Structure 1
Amino acid sequence: MHPNDSADSQENLLLTQLQALLDDETECLKSGQMEELQRIATEKMRCFADLQSRMVPARPSTKNSSDDAHLRNLLNEIMRKNQLNGQIISALERFNQGAWEIFFGAQPATYSDLGTAKSTAERHLIGSA
């Protein structure tokens, strides 16, 4: 067994684990189980750190093109899932911020710093999503 084969299998295992964590994160976001997100985020960061520490720059490839394609597809899928989860989290954050402003009166000021009235469009919260 070539030394790179062991490193490759460990990286592949970490990538598969990361993909499963992203799937769990998506399910938590869809179902509203926000208490699980902290645990998943911690595990994701650990996986990312492990992957980064194992990456060797400009390592010569000993794998065949089928393994390379599988790895590229796995990485692309992980990036897609992570981006989607980030978009969901951003949307939830905007929704929660808007709800907070409506319920607790932290709406943008009616008047500008110069003392002039702002237009209705600048003060309008509902429908801004």
Structure 2
Amino acid sequence: IASRLVCEWGMSPALGPIAFRQGGGGFLGEVSQMQAHSEMTAQRIDTEIKQVIDTCLDTATAILTRHNRFLHKFAEALLINETMDAGEVDIVYQGYLKERKLERLLTDQRGHEEHTVITSTTTQEPMEDVS
């Protein structure tokens, strides 16, 4: 897919909207095409293809990391039920969202309580000298 994005569909910002012919393997009577670009361009194409793949890998890793807890909950539900329809997946997801919301509320509440304690201890009157 990355190769087709860059070579056939011209979806590389660095190379522009140009279709580059690539030599084929001669599948079902196709005639192998000669390479119509220089070695330097071929290297740029390879670099662009690698960049597309690396970007997609980074995006996929970020998505999986961000939703890791949900994926584990989903896997647990699948271990119990083995198959799930869309409604059951939605139930697991909604439960996960409620759990996250509760955690955020508790975190905000703890942060507010800590701020209140810190503020009240720093604004106390200094103790009088009784000697």
TM-score by length of 2: 0.33
**Which has more radius of gyration?**
2
Higher RCO, Cα 8 Å, sep 6+: 1
